[in-house]
Amino acid sequence: MEKEHEKRGHEPDSRAKTVIELHDVWKTYKMGESALNALKGINLKVKEGDFISIQGPSGSGKSTLMNLIGCLDLPDRGKIILEGNDIEKLSESRLAIIRGRHIGFVFQAFNLVQTLNALENVALPTFFQQISEKERTQKAAEILKRVGLEKRMRHTPMQLSGGEQQRVAIARALINNPPIILADEPTGNLDSRTGHEIMHLLVELHLKYNKTIVIVTHDPFIAKYAHKRINIVDGQIFHDHVLEKRFLWSENSNNSNNKRF
Ligand SMILES: Nc1ncnc2c1ncn2[C@@H]1O[C@H](COP(=O)(O)OP(=O)(O)OP(=O)(O)O)[C@@H](O)[C@H]1O
Ligand SMILES: [Mg+2]
């Protein structure tokens, strides 16, 4: 079993389960009289164990696509299937539950609550769970430790560097143990070195805990961390590039297992 996952962690596996599927997805923004086609017939499969980058110029539709992959928005045409469910057929509350269980989000601007410290920010998504305050805090502390912030738990976002704030945001995305992490320009507000440190953390989560990762970036050096690279221009995928994972991150190649974060 372990071997099977190790294999899956390093080579594209056509048998891997599809977790999110987009079929001929269109998104149109209506502005008064005019309509803007932000996405035009996107077909995409995110499979378990994928590490995908979505690249493209500003305004090409990357964030719109990410919001749809994350089921935060509905398409105007086409279908989105999350874990076998056609999301259009789900009630809003049911969709919120399935999404919360499966997907963790990371944003360019970190989106932390400024009045809460790191520990409280990370614990926030567990608020509606039937667990005690103590358990919640313990869980948050453990995840902050894993992202290297054990000494920053009581700091508010203002008292943290950009890279540290993004680590807190990643810890928050992980607290409910989702198998999928979606990150829209996670390094966009960081200097290049800190950006690469954040990417190393995402690679580690991918290799050690088998997280499926999709990142949006306009930076080709950041896109290189992914084994599937998608280019989007003017709302359409025009290039889809797949690399064998064993050519990437080879120094970490013995770390893979199926432990959850
Ligand atoms: N809520 C909205 N209402 C109207 N138009 C929108 C809306 N959101 C996005 N757009 C338009 O849709 C297109 C795609 O936007 P999107 O935010 O997906 O681009 P992007 O590739 O993420 O760009 P960036 O790299 O600048 O973040 C753009 O032309 C944008 O102006
Ligand atoms: Mg964007």
- Extract the tokens encoding 142: 């453990």
Q: How far is Cα 13 from Cα 59, in angstroms, rounded to an integer?
A: 32
Q: Which domains does the chain have, with CATH numbers?
A: 2-252 (3.40.50.300)
Q: What is the whole-number distance in angstroms between the Cα of residue 191 and the centre of ligand 1? A: 24
Mutate to test the pocket of ligand 1, among 28, 29, 55 (most ligand atoms within 8 A of CB): 29
Residue 1: strand, helix, or coil: coil
Our answer on whether the CB atom of 60 is closer than 6 Å to any ligand 1 atom is: yes
Atom index in ligand 1 nearest the CA of residue 67 equals 18
Q: What is the whole-number distance in angstroms between the Cα of residue 126 and the centre of ligand 2? A: 27
Specify whether the CB–CB gap between 114 and 168 falls below 8 A: no
Question: Can you name the residues that pair with 34 across neighbouring β-strands?
Answer: 31
Note the pLDDT of residue 13: 60
| Residues of the chain with confidence (pLDDT) below 70 | 1-14, 246-247, 250-261
**Assign residue 108 a region: left if phi > 0, alpha if psi is -120 to 50, beta otherwise?**
alpha
| Report field, pTM of the whole predicted structure over 0.75 | yes
Note the pLDDT of residue 131: 86
Note the pLDDT of residue 250: 63
Our answer on whether the CB atom of 231 is closer than 6 Å to any ligand 1 atom is: no
Our answer on whether the CB atom of 64 is closer than 6 Å to any ligand 1 atom is: yes
Atom index in ligand 1 nearest the CA of residue 232 equals 21
Atom index in ligand 1 nearest the CA of residue 216 equals 22
Q: State the Rg of the chain over Cα.
A: 18
Note the pLDDT of residue 223: 93
Our answer on whether the CB atom of 256 is closer than 6 Å to any ligand 1 atom is: no
**H or E, element range at 141:** helix 133-146
Residue with the two structure tokens 């400024």: 114
Q: How far is CA 163 from CA 92, 106, 116, 184, 198, in A?
A: 34, 13, 17, 15, 7
Q: What is the whole-number distance in angstroms between the Cα of residue 34 and the centre of ligand 2? A: 21
B/e letters for 115-145, b = 16+ CB within 10 Å, e = fewer, are eebbbbbbbebbeeeeeeeeebbebbbebbe
- Extract the tokens encoding 160: 């943290």
Mutate to test the pocket of ligand 1, among 37, 63, 234 (most ligand atoms within 8 A of CB): 63
Mutate to test the pocket of ligand 1, among 62, 74, 182, 230 (most ligand atoms within 8 A of CB): 62
Q: What is the whole-number distance in angstroms between the Cα of residue 114 and the centre of ligand 1? A: 26
Question: pLDDT of 69-92, one tens digit each?
Answer: 999 999 999 999 998 999 999 999
Nearest ligand by distance to the CA of 107: 2
Q: In terms of Cα–Cα distance, which of 252, 261, 231, 174 is closest to 52?
A: 231
- Beta strand residue intervals within the chain, DSSP E: 18-31, 34-47, 51-55, 77-82, 85-86, 103-107, 180-184, 212-217, 228-233, 236-242
Nearest ligand by distance to the CA of 55: 1
Q: How far is Cα 149 from Cα 168, in angstroms, rounded to an integer?
A: 8
**Between β-strands 212-217 and 51-55, what pairing exists: parallel, antiparallel or unpaired?**
parallel
Our answer on whether the CB atom of 58 is closer than 6 Å to any ligand 1 atom is: yes
